[in-house]
A and B are shown apart, each in its own frame.
Chain A
């Protein structure tokens, strides 16, 4: 069964901006799905329509088979949303924010209290439950929003840039938590600008650009389309324009090289050639994340085709 089905979804704002130009999207139940796109690509509009915060111009959206327009309440009860921006009452406590959300979903107070405790413990905020939310750190505020979105145990959880502005330690712990939630059966749709996050967490992916879906496939097959991996090598001694057969070489500085390694070549051969040329490597790292490279390629290709 599809957790989310979008068909021919269009949105034109009153100022004439065509944010979505007839997108189709399907997310399977239990999936961890990445919805990627540059700023202004249409991600937030799509999420806004799915979560009933934005009125669609045309098209249909179904959540677990329930039409968000025709079967509004049933569709909404399946959905949990962690929005991009902090949108809770900053003068309320974390406890009340989560508790009230449970109430809005019709959960009786007694059960809501139990669920609130579970969710705040899950995001490691139980000790801060009585703290006024405006006194919480940025990472804690994001975790309050995650707890709030999970309090009614949604079958579909949409996380709109949940780790934006969060330090790496908290981000990693949030990844673990998201994985756990997904393992327990919740379908997750993630939008993020940290592409390594999408690559390490998500199994399927859609890329949206200028209101259109330009890629919709599984992560593994998408990544196999990347033909060249780029590495940055830091050298012991300066070199000048070395020639390495079968590899793209770009001199960044006298002691730093950028090497393009085609998929069919292996790194052992590269190091054999480097040793033969008496080039000693201190350290090596990926120039960019693989998905990031692919994302840039896809956007560039589309722009070239359009121009």
Chain B
């Protein structure tokens, strides 16, 4: 008997869940990003030219990959954990001797796995439009793992606090998507007026997108070490907050 078996069970269940419904989880990002590459990269990109000496199509590829990682690592955990709560099969975990940190890491691992898998799918799609060469693969893997961890944690907290299905769509629609689009996925913040450059620096997604872009292309609008520091700091905060919520039984116990 060990907690590793419990962890393994949660991860296996989570992966099985999103693989089983792949037309809803893996196919849409492939189609959406193919359209991004076609419309923004090819049709509009050819008229834009280069940014920081990089052709526009190549410039947006890292941002689009990371945006997909963010969206899907978040979506996986928020929908899975909220459904578990809604159907009350969270009780299966609560009656069993599963430590809270195992519940958290199990669900987060599921989110990371889906985020990374979607990232790979999008990266493969991008190869149909431009040859993708990664300058610093180790850094790229690090950024993807840290980013998916952070947003899987955010999804977990959203699921715990949500009281209805509406509550799990508010954050993705009104916070995550706008921050992603304004996080320098399609442009360099240098292109913005000075005031908007300063405002953009308050957007955490900007740092992650630029860190990933740096690992792929070697160009960035922000300090990379600050990007890593911020991401790790946010992860630590969200881990502590998630464990506190689980300990209190917020949203899952009476």
Chain A residues at the B interface, C-beta cutoff of 8 Å: 13, 48, 51-55, 72-74, 76-77, 79, 81, 83, 85, 87-90, 96, 100-109, 112, 148, 152
Contacts and interface: CB of A to CB of B under 8 A. Distances in A.
A266 B8 CA distance: 65
10 contacts: A53-B254, A76-B95, A79-B95, A88-B87, A89-B87, A96-B16, A100-B9, A103-B8, A106-B1, A107-B1
Task: Kindly name the residue among B5, B6, B87, B253 whose own CB sees the greatest number of chain A CB atoms within 10 A.
Answer: B5
Given A103-B10, A152-B96, 4 more contacts: A55-B254, A101-B96, A103-B12, A106-B6
B5 A103 contact: yes
A103, A108, A112, A148: residue with the most chain B Cβ atoms closer than 10 Å: A103
Contact of A106 (B3, B13, B83): B3
A51 B95 contact: yes
Given A48-B254, A54-B253, A87-B87, A106 B2 contact: yes
A104 B92 contact: yes
Given A87-B89, A104-B9, A53 B2 contact: no
Interface string B86-121: 011101111111110000000000000000000000
A89 B89 contact: yes
Interface residues of B, number: 28
A161 to B, nearest CB: 15
Contacts, number: 83
Contacts of A51: 94-95
A105 B1 contact: yes
B218 interface: no
B249 interface: yes
A96 B12 CA distance: 11
Contacts of B6: 103-106
Contacts of A53: 91, 94-95, 253-254
A105 B6 CA distance: 7
What 7 A-B pairs come out closest when comparing CB atoms?
A103-B9, A106-B1, A104-B96, A73-B97, A87-B88, A76-B97, A54-B254
B5 A77 contact: no
A139 B225 CA distance: 59
A85 B89 CA distance: 11
B96 A83 contact: no
A106 B92 contact: no
A87 B91 contact: yes
Given A13-B254, A55-B253, A106-B6, A148 B92 contact: yes
B87 A52 contact: no
Nearest to B90: A87
B97 A106 contact: yes
B97 A72 contact: yes
A114 B79 CA distance: 32
A90 B87 contact: yes
A48 B249 CA distance: 13
Contacts of A81: 91, 95
A43 to B, nearest CB: 14
Given A73-B99, A76-B97, A106-B97, A101 B87 contact: no
Interface in B196-251: 249
Given A55-B254, A76-B97, A101 B92 contact: yes
Contacts of B5: 103, 106-109, 112
B18 to A, nearest CB: 12
